[in-house]
Amino acid sequence: MSENSPRRIVIGDVHGHYEGLMTLLEAIAPTSDDKIYFLGDLIDRGPNSAQVVDFVKRSNYPCLLGNHEQMLLNILTNERTTSSTMQAWLYGGGQATVASYHEATIPDDHVDWLKALPTYLDLGDIWLTHAGVDPSKSVVEQTADQLCWIREEFHSIEKPYFPDKQIIIGHTITFTLPGVSPGKLAQGQGWLDIDTGAYHPRSGWLTGLDVTNNLVYQVNIFKDHLRILPLEEVVITIDPAKVKVDRRNKN
C-alpha cells in the first residue's frame, strides 16, 4: 500500500488514554513533514489525562478545544462555579483527570495552554472542530458552546454546511448514530465523525485518520488490537432524517 507524504492526520477524542495514543502514533509513524491534529477531549474518563495533555503540548501538535476541556476551564476560571457544576464534571470523567495530576493540582502551563486552544481550524479542503456547527449560523456567528457541544442539529443537516470543505469532528461516539456499529466512522452531509469511543466499553477504539491517503488507523484500548484500513471499509453514511428519532430513542 503506497502512501503519499507529507500526510495530514486527524486524531479523535483520546480521553486520557495515553498508552493507546502512543500505540496509535507508533503505527502511524509520523515524519517531521507530517501534520498531526487533535480534535479535543484529550482529558477525562481515561487514567492518564495529564500525560496526554503534556505530550500534545510539548509536541506542538495543533489541538482543538473540546467540551471536556471547556468544562474544566469553566470550573477553574469561574468564581461562581456551583457544586452541581463541579459534580457534573467530576461524574463525567473529571475525577480521573484530577487523579492523573500530582497532588491533584493542574499546573499553570497546562491551564494556559488549554485556554489558548482554538475552537476550529480551517485547512482549506477540510475544516476541523470538536462537535460540529450550528447550521443556521455563519462561521463568525458560531459560539464556543456550539462548536464544542452541538449534536443532532448538525448531524441531521440535509446539505453540506460548506460547499467546498469537509467538516471533520469528534464529540459524538459514532455508534450512537443510526446504523453505525462500534469502531466504524460516521459520515453525513459534508461531515465525517471519527470519535469511535476509546473509553466506552462497547467500543474501545481510538481512531486516527490519514486524510491524505484515506487510511484509518485504530487501536483498541481494551483488547490491545491495532488495525489499519482504507477509509471506505470503515465509514458508514447515515440518513440525516433518522438522526433525531434514533438518538431520542436511545436516550
Neighbour-count burial for 230-246, b at 16+ CB within 10 Å, e otherwise? ebeebbbebebeebeeb
* Residue 77: predicted pLDDT: 87
Tell me the per-residue pLDDT of 174-233, one tens digit each, with 9 for 90 and over: 999 999 999 999 999 999 999 999 999 999 999 999 999 999 999 999 998 999 999 999
* Residue 244: predicted pLDDT: 73
Whole-angstrom distance, CA of residue 124 vs CA of residue 104: 40
* Residue 126: predicted pLDDT: 98
The type of residue at 82 is T
* Joined grid coordinates for residue 5: 507524504
Helix (H) or strand (E) holding 109: helix 108-115
Whole-angstrom distance, CA of residue 91 vs CA of residue 101: 17
Whole-angstrom distance, CA of residue 230 vs CA of residue 12: 17
Tell me the per-residue pLDDT of 7-44, one tens digit each, with 9 for 90 and over: 999 999 999 999 999 999 999 999 999 999 999 999 99
* Residue 250: predicted pLDDT: 44
Tell me the per-residue pLDDT of 133-181, one tens digit each, with 9 for 90 and over: 999 999 999 999 999 999 999 999 999 999 999 999 999 999 999 999 9
